[in-house]
Amino acid sequence: MIARLRALLPQRRSILVAYGSLIPLILVSFGLLIFALTQTSSLERDMRISATENMLWVVSQTQMEVLLLANAAADLEGTSATTVEHRYDMAISRLNLLLQGPQQRYLQEIGRAGDVRSLHARLLEQDPLQKGTGPAARAALFQEAMALQPEINRLAGEVMTQEWSTAAARLDDYRRIQRTVILAVVGALLGTALMSWALMRNQRRLHAGELARLRASRLQSLLERERQTSAWYRDFAAMISHQVRTPLAVIDSAMQRLVRKGEGITATDVAERQTIVRNAVERVTRLVDTALLTGRLDNRQIEPQPAVQALGPLVEQTLDEARQAHPNRHIELSAANPEARAHCDPALVGHSLGNLLSNALKYSAEDTPVELRLFTQGNYVALAVADRGPGIPPAELERIFERFYRAENATSQPGSGLGLALARDLARLQGGDVTVESWPGSGSLFTLWLPRAGTSEIRSKR
């Protein structure tokens, strides 16, 4: 786990370096967007026009109220005293509005605040509540209202001119802010496009790096496989040269002894040498078959032909072959379920079981039997081969199925180190497995597991 994390660190570091360089660009793009939003908000606030700040409207209302006051004062018969007082109050209120708040500040900016105060004071001198609403008072109020009209008209003209100037300046500001916002948005879009391009470039680089890493890993795997194949062939050649030479030497020695006896040869001598020769030939035959099957398995030339197979007859046939090869050995068969049926390839099962029996006979003493048990367990049918051999040391139990590997206490017996590995590979090829249990000094138990007929799920038993 630690090694895997260490292997991932350079890759993660390269990703951080690749994308870390984009952080300034991301910050600039977001900064431009935020600036554009703030400028847009400022533009929106400036475009809001408050009625209390619109001087042209206030002056126009004052001008209209003063004119209405003059008309009411001039109409002696048609206008009541109450109406005159109302129009007077409205005109005064408009002048008061000009002298308060933002309107007053506006008048101060254009230098007309004093003139408006003077107009306000002149109109206050004609208050109907003090002067009355008689003909003379109305005439004086009319004269004063008419005298205020030119002054208010000039004020309205100045206000209109000032409003136009202000509106023109504000429009210039609006255009400037709009250009700034547009430039900021364009800059943000360009930054985003550049960031997208950089991301795609970095992604392509990372992808290319990952492909290069995968190619390197694949090449390393192929090289390792080539080394293993070369080592396999070296071991295979050494094994063949040793394992084949030994039985051939035995055959040659037996034949030479018969030749040396000449005419003094007896039937007993022939029978003894015949047994020796047959055993040697059987060893060579099994070795050749095992080597050929192993090569075909590595080249994926073995295609299992699974079918529903009754294991009883198949086991009896394999036992007959083993008994013929070892006529002086005793093999016990116990079948808990003689009618057991498996989904398997009978030829491959026969070879796997034959290897297990040969291995058990090889490492068991000649006066001790080898046991073969047939039983079912769950979704599997099992063929268990038990021997009374030296057993397998616990430290070597995990490697017993490796090709060419032989336990230290097994080197005294002839063998290629391929039989157990091939038996397990052939079993797994059919959806089964071969497992081992061993008791040093007492023997070992090798079990061939095969999928039971009728089971829908076929999986290796571990």
- Within a domain: 138: yes
Compute how many other C-beta atoms are within 10 angstroms of the C-beta atom of residue 174.
Answer: 13
Considering the domain boundaries, does residue 109 fall inside one?
Answer: yes
- What integer pLDDT is reported at residue 248 of this predicted model? 65
Are 311 and 179 in the same domain? no
- Last residue of one domain, picked from the residues 160, 193, 226: 193
How confident is residue 232, by pLDDT bands cut at 50, 70 and 90?
Answer: low
Decide if 9 is inside a domain: no
Print the domain residue range for 183: 32-193
324 within a domain of the structure (yes/no) = yes
Backbone torsions φ then ψ of 246, nearest 5 degrees: -65, -55
Q: Of 130, 162, 193, which residue sits at a domain end?
A: 193
Contact partners, residue 194, CB within 8 Å, separation at least 6: 25
3 state DSSP class of 79 = coil
- Asked if residue 40 and residue 180 are part of one domain, the reply reads yes
Q: Which two tokens stand for residue 429?
A: 């090829």
Q: What is the DSSP string of 275-320?
A: HHHHHHHHHHHHHHHHHHHHHHHHTT------EEEEHHHHHHHHHH
For residue 391, name the pLDDT band (cuts at 50, 70, 90): confident
Are 40 and 186 part of one and the same domain?
Answer: yes
Higher pLDDT, 411 or 434: 434
In this predicted model, what pLDDT tens digit does every residue of 249-292 receive, in sequence order?
667 666 776 667 666 677 776 766 666 776 666 666 665 666 66
Angle at the Cα of 362 (from 359 to 364), degrees rounded to 5? 105
CATH, residue 443: 3.30.565.10
Q: Is 410 within the bounds of a domain?
A: yes
The residue type of 322 is A
Same-domain check for residues 50 and 187: yes
Report the 10 Å Cβ neighbour count for 144.
18
Q: What is the DSSP letter of 435?
A: E
Indicate whether 433 belongs to any domain. yes
Are 51 and 179 in a shared domain? yes
In a domain, 1, yes or no: no
Distance of CA 203 to the CA centre of its chain: 15
Same domain? 182 vs 320: no
The residue from 159, 178, 193 where one domain ends is 193
With respect to residue 203, please indicate whether it lies within any of the assigned structural domains. Answer: no
**Contact assessment for residue 410 and residue 400, using Cβ atoms and an 8 Å cutoff:** no
Segment holding 448, helix H or strand E: strand 443-451
Domain count across the chain: 2
pLDDT tens figures, 10-38: 545 555 555 555 677 677 666 766 776 67
pLDDT at 39: 66
Would you state the pLDDT for residue 41? 66
For residue 433, name the pLDDT band (cuts at 50, 70, 90): very high
Q: Residue 340 corresponds to which tokens in the numbers above?
A: 């057991």
167 and 44 within one domain? yes
Q: Are residues 165 and 310 in the same domain?
A: no
pTM strictly above 0.75: no
Place of tokens 């099992």: 382
Q: In the prediction, which pLDDT does 5 show?
A: 47
Per-residue confidence (pLDDT) for residue 310, from 0 to 100? 87
pLDDT 10s digits, 40-91: 666 656 555 443 357 778 888 888 888 898 888 888 777 888 888 888 889 8
Distance CA 141, CA 85 (A): 11
Q: Are 60 and 142 in contact (CB under 8 A)?
A: no
